[in-house]
Amino acid sequence: MGCDIHIYVERKNDNGVWEAILGANPWISTYKDWAEKDDIEGRKQYLLNRSIEIEKEEPKILEGWIYDGRNYNLFAILADVRNYYNVRPIDYPRGLPNDVSDVVKQESDDWNGDGHSHSYYTFEELMQFDWDNNYVENEGFVSEEVYKQFKETGNPYPCSKGVGGGNVEKVLNCEMDRIIKNKYPWEKEKSFYTIIKWKESYAEVAEGFLNNIKKYILDNNICDIKNYRIVFWFDN
């Protein structure tokens, strides 16, 4: 079963009280981006219309506007969740902050125990952490095409934690090298996969997440980043 993050942004107001912040609904720009890339006129118009509808109905949202992706290595970094590669987290789950906003507390309560690994970080903590000099050791199965790509460019994607099927065969790297150079006739109907390992910095793993936070800080001219924080938990 998949795991998702539920993430909120809070700001400490002038009275020292933390309050939840609404943000632009990311589906508006997502549908616009899809429309720009779509060449089929009818579908293109549907996507544009959908972005307009969302902008009218729900232009701002409470949850997930700063980040709503499913990135298990990021989850491991933030809270030791779905930690498949012995990632060292920034910290283990801290629970909800004692002074969490009423709105976010209610959102958490609505999960009726199905949410787990609650935690939080101030923007200051996130910006001061050394993302560039901590690393995740990844591994995964790749096809012939991706293996060749990985050796030429270092790009390991797409990859998978496991592969299977009637025509699928797992082979060693040395065998994959031979298959790519000279595939035997009886091998042409098979799909070969081999396991590779590679290293990524935390900054590379968390690029989208960090970029969103940095953009929000810059766009809103925020100087007191210790007075902003993310509060989050996960579901399965």
Residue 108 included in any domain: yes
Residue 109 included in any domain: yes
pLDDT over threshold 80, residue 56: yes
Residue 220 included in any domain: yes
* 220 and 149 co-located in one domain: no
* Predicted local confidence at residue 196, as pLDDT: 98
Instruction: Yes or no: say if 35 and 44 are a contact pair by the CB < 8 Å rule.
Output: yes
The pTM (predicted TM-score) of the whole model is 0.87
The token pair at 189 is 């109907």
Structural domain of 14? 4-22+62-131+206-235
What average pLDDT score do residues 195-205 get? 97
pLDDT over threshold 80, residue 171: yes
Tell me the H-state helices in the chain. 26-37, 41-57, 72-79, 102-109, 123-128, 144-153, 173-181, 202-205, 207-219
* 14 and 76 co-located in one domain: yes
* 174 and 221 co-located in one domain: no
Residue 40 included in any domain: no
- Residue whose token pair is 């199965």: 141
Q: Which residues contact 117 (CB under 8 A, 6 or more apart)?
A: 79, 80, 81, 93, 233, 234
At 144, is the pLDDT very low, low, confident or very high (cuts 50, 70, 90)?
A: very high
How many domains does the chain contain in total?
Answer: 2
Instruction: Yes or no: say if 235 and 113 are a contact pair by the CB < 8 Å rule.
Output: no
